[in-house]
Amino acid sequence: MPTATDPDDFAAHPVQRGTIVDPAGTARMLSHLLAHRIPKDMQPVIAFTMPVLSGQSHYTTAVGVLQVLRPRTVLALDSVMAITLGTGADPFRPLLVIDLGFHLTEVALLADGEIMTARREAMGTRDLEDSSPADLGTDITAVVTTMMRDDPLPQFVDALDCGPLLAGGGVLRPEPVSQLSARLYAPVRPVPQPHTAAVRGAAQALRSAQHHPSLGSPLHPNP
């Protein structure tokens, strides 16, 4: 039976399956991790990523939580777009991005610099404790095929021919990667350091924003 300190006990985590379920707990966590890095006389610009299809409610909650860091401005990015930025992929060419996390899996088709269609599923490598890598590969393949059936966009063909881009901590495990490649009949492409790809993309967006004239004086580099 899980205990209060068991990392698999969802009640102990303020963010569950990509959703902030405990705003106060999330704010305390951010304050503990980051507040001491921000000079008291500085108002940072903060970039954060959201799971695809999160919606306005998630954005509002996240922005409210981030107020504990006294931000001047908050920049929000879809995680799949952040992954694209962080890996240097071209979002203007058809690209299928699969973000395989511990608790959440996101799949998105990008083209012309936009997210054309996307899905998110409450499944990840955490669920391998109760199932096999083959099951996870089958489930993700089902998500992709359902997307293609519901939104039969021509860009899907080119994106699969080029190979889906795989990111997220789950890509550090070889089993889901090999299972996806076999079931999608496509040359899947794990990105370098997949567990930090979205963070690197957010950092790139933040660097681009640092000298934007709308933000006034140069920003403090630490955040």
Contacts of residue 127, defined as CB under 8 A and 6 or more positions apart, other chains included, come to 136
CB 96 within 8 A of CB 109: yes
pLDDT in tens, the chain (223 residues): 334 444 445 446 888 888 888 999 999 999 999 888 888 888 888 899 999 999 899 999 999 999 999 998 898 999 999 999 999 999 899 999 999 988 889 999 999 999 999 999 988 877 777 666 677 788 888 999 999 999 999 999 999 999 999 999 888 887 778 888 888 888 889 999 999 999 999 999 888 877 655 554 443 333 3
Predicted confidence (pLDDT) per residue in 68-90, tens digit: 999 988 989 999 999 999 999 99
Which pair of tokens denotes residue 27? 């704010």
The domains found in the chain, sorted by start residue, are 11-80+198-215 (3.30.420.40), 90-192 (3.30.420.40)
Other CB atoms within 10 A of residue 147 CB: 20
- Nearest residue to 166 via CA among 98, 119, 102: 98
Summarize pLDDT for 144-176 with one digit per residue, the tens.
Answer: 999 999 999 999 999 999 999 999 988 888 777
Q: What is the pTM of this model?
A: 0.82
What are 101's strand-pairing partners? none
Size of the chain in residues: 223
